[in-house]
Chains A and B, each alone.
Chain A
Amino acid sequence: GENVEQHPSTLSVQEGDSAVIKCTYSDSASNYFPWYKQELGKRPQLIIDIRSNVGEKKDQRIAVTLNKTAKHFSLHITETQPEDSAVYFCAATSGGSYIPTFGRGTSLIVHP
């Protein structure tokens, strides 16, 4: 089955800095890669996703890149704000199973 590794587990930045979270996956059949943000005590919510036919996608301050050859994808947050503080999960979904497999999560802390 799919295995998703996510790094770092904790990321602490100053407000205004950029943050990068990296994930690798094992199943070359995976072709959909969502990123979820989970604020303390709340449900995971999709913030951005990328499909395997796209190398990069951007939505305002967040962007995701995908390297299918190397089987890794990254989340980039620019101009971080304190409200970006949360746990971020990457996931990989194989077109065969349609089941997202999640990484371990990255706790992002943005200091004012």
Chain B
Amino acid sequence: EPEVTQTPSHQVTQMGQEVILRCVPISNHLYFYWYRQILGQKVEFLVSFYNNEISEKSEIFDDQFSVERPDGSNFTLKIRSTKLEDSAMYFCASRGDRGLTEAFFGQGTRLTVV
């Protein structure tokens, strides 16, 4: 069964550094999402991406964040100048079509900012 894969599984970074979280969505999917989950809290929407552009973003997704689909298979989330409060599990998800179908989640990247 196809899966969304994310790398790395765990990333530790110094405050102020830039990190890039990588995702490989399911190959024929068209809609891509990033969510984050602070420990013990709900899964929060960050951004959706379709047709090579951001289709929607939340208030959390400020200028510190950016997304890119550099090569047609990878989907990356870049966090510039990380802050302690960016520590969370980041999930990538993808969905196949415009119908109301299931979003498939990756296994997540745990980001720890120290």
Chain A positions within 8 Å of B, measured between CB atoms, are 31-32, 34, 36, 42-46, 49, 51, 89, 93, 95, 97-105
Contacts and interface: CB of A to CB of B under 8 A. Distances in A.
B49 to A, nearest CB: 11
Q: Identify which of B33, B35, B102, B104 gathers the most chain A CB atoms within 10 Å of its CB.
A: B102
Contacts of B104: 46
Given A89-B43, A102-B42, A102-B43, A34 B102 contact: yes
A42 B107 CA distance: 6
Interface in B92-113: 95, 98, 100, 102-108
A98 B91 CA distance: 17
B100 A32 contact: yes
Contact of B56 (A36, A99, A103): A99
B31 interface: yes
